[in-house]
Copies of this chain bind each other. A is one copy, B any other.
Amino acid sequence: MAGQAANERKRYAPDERRQMIVDEAAAFFSEVGLEGTTRELSQRLGVTQSLLYAYFASKADLLEAVFERVYLDRLSPDWPAQIADRTVPVRARAQHFYREYTGAIFTYEWMRIFMFSGLAGTELNRRYLGHLAKLILEPLCAEMQHAAGKKDGPQMEDIWNLHGGIVYIGIRKFVYCVPTPDDFGPPVEAAVNRFCDSFGLE
């Protein structure tokens, strides 16, 4: 699938080749970790190792391209508006968001690269989580507080607990590689429902 037959040399346009490299690199590094070697990656591409350096100045450069490809546009620009749409009950809004969000990030590549780079101390993770909080989770928290009215609504730490319980499904599957439900929909929906129930949200 990845390899090239023997010594056949195929010549691609730079843009195309670059994308081939980044794609395979994302798959490769998500599998073996950020310390995977450029040599092994080049083998999987059916290409010499030196070719990688025709496209990227350094391995760090290549990794940056991988991060960009994996994270970029994972946060849909529609979500903030949907979270804020009070014509729909908060519970349904939360359900909708987490259905889409888990659909977007519950992939082998995303989950593992996010974890690898988190452990490596990359600033990208903190920045991503900051964005997520600012754009989505904090507004969601505010909406739930508004919907709770007189009753006590959730605080941000409660929202993080909801979030963590859901994300943990992906961690179990793609990081720990233990069995999980085939369909993530039901457990995610149940988690959101329990959360809303416990705060008396409609």
Knowing A165-B165, A187-B157, say if A177 contacts B126 (CB, 8 Å). yes
Residue among A130, A176, A186 having the largest count of chain B Cβ atoms under 10 Å: A176
Contact assessment for B119 and A115 in the assembled complex, using a CB-CB cutoff below 8 Å: yes
* A53 close to B (CB within 8 Å): no
Contact assessment for B112 and A190 in the assembled complex, using a CB-CB cutoff below 8 Å: no
In the assembled complex, the Cα of A176 lies from the Cα of B118 at a distance in Å of 5
* Chain A 20-41 interface 0/1 with B at a Cβ cutoff of 8 Å (1 = within): 0000000000000101000000
Contact assessment for B33 and A178 in the assembled complex, using a CB-CB cutoff below 8 Å: no
In the assembled complex, the Cα of A125 lies from the Cα of B157 at a distance in Å of 27
* A169 close to B (CB within 8 Å): yes
Copies assembled: 2
Interface residues of A in 120-162 (CB under 8 A from B): 120-121, 125-126, 129-130, 157-158, 160-162
Q: How far is the CB of A99 from chain B (nearest CB, A)?
A: 15
* A103 close to B (CB within 8 Å): no
| Chain B positions within 8 Å of A167 at CB level | 164, 168
Contact assessment for B191 and A161 in the assembled complex, using a CB-CB cutoff below 8 Å: yes
Interface residues of A in 159-192 (CB under 8 A from B): 160-169, 171-172, 175-178, 181, 186-187, 190-191
* A116 close to B (CB within 8 Å): yes
Q: How far is the CB of A157 from chain B (nearest CB, A)?
A: 5
| Chain B positions within 8 Å of A164 at CB level | 164-169, 171-172
* A96 close to B (CB within 8 Å): no
Q: How far is the CB of A115 from chain B (nearest CB, A)?
A: 6
| Chain B positions within 8 Å of A193 at CB level | 198
| Chain B positions within 8 Å of A181 at CB level | 157
* Chain A 42-57 interface 0/1 with B at a Cβ cutoff of 8 Å (1 = within): 0000000000000000
Residues in A lying within 8 Å of B, measured CB to CB = 33, 35, 112, 115-116, 118-121, 125-126, 129-130, 157-158, 160-169, 171-172, 175-178, 181, 186-187, 190-191, 193-195, 197-199
